[in-house]
């Protein structure tokens, strides 16, 4: 699960997101920035813990808004309706595991991902490589 260093960072990130949502202003933009979805891979535990923790620390320290889920595999198995909302029309960047697996998890839950969805594969990247990919987020 979460170590003593990561959990407070995740908690503060969620609080910042809630506060931002309470005070959000509506604006029209020609291109909306990518939303971020981070999968903790809590049950299958196929992503190295040091990579998961390092990327989570980076996300929390970056100030970027992101959504964290415990396990996309579990959400897909339960056909969690939140997956349909995540697979919506706005650009999405998913930080999880193999792109083909993530696409099929959403598909199996009845929420296929748009073609332009970017997936960062934490199973094959180092923490530094994954964080470099996150640096591309507007």
Q: Convert the pLDDT of each residue in 77-124 to its tens digit.
A: 999 999 999 998 889 999 999 999 999 999 999 999 999 999 999 999
Sign of CA dihedral 120, 20, 84, 30: negative
pLDDT of residue 87: 93
pLDDT tens-place string over residues 45-65: 889 999 999 999 999 999 889
First to last CA, the chain: 30
pLDDT at position 131: 94
- Is residue 66 a contact partner of residue 96, using CB atoms and an 8 Å limit? no
Q: Decide if pLDDT at 69 tops 80.
A: yes
pTM: 0.74
Looking only at the bridges linking them, the beta strands covering 92-96 and 118-121 are: parallel
Q: Work out the number of other CB atoms within 10 angstroms of the CB of residue 131.
A: 20
Give residue 27's pLDDT band: very low, low, confident or very high (50, 70, 90): very low
CB 111 within 8 A of CB 71: no
The pLDDT assigned to 36 comes to 95
Cross-strand bridge partners of residue 39: 69
According to DSSP, residue 89 is labeled S
Place of tokens 């595999």: 73
Q: Which helix (H) or strand (E) holds 55?
A: helix 49-62
């Amino acid at each position: 699960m979460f170590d003593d260093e990561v959990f407070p960072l995740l908690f503060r990130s969620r609080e910042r997101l809630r506060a931002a949502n309470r005070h959000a202003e509506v604006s029209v933009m020609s291109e909306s920035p990518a939303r971020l979805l981070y999968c903790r891979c809590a049950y299958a535990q196929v992503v190295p813990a040091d990579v998961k923790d390092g990327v989570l620390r980076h996300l929390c320290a970056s100030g970027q808004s992101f959504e964290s889920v415990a396990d996309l595999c579990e959400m897909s198995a339960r056909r969690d309706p939140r997956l349909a909302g995540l697979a919506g029309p706005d650009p999405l960047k998913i930080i999880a595991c193999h792109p083909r697996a993530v696409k099929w998890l959403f598909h199996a839950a009845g929420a296929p991902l748009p073609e332009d969805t970017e997936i960062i594969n934490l199973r094959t990247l180092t923490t530094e490589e994954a964080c470099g990919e996150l640096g591309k987020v507007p």
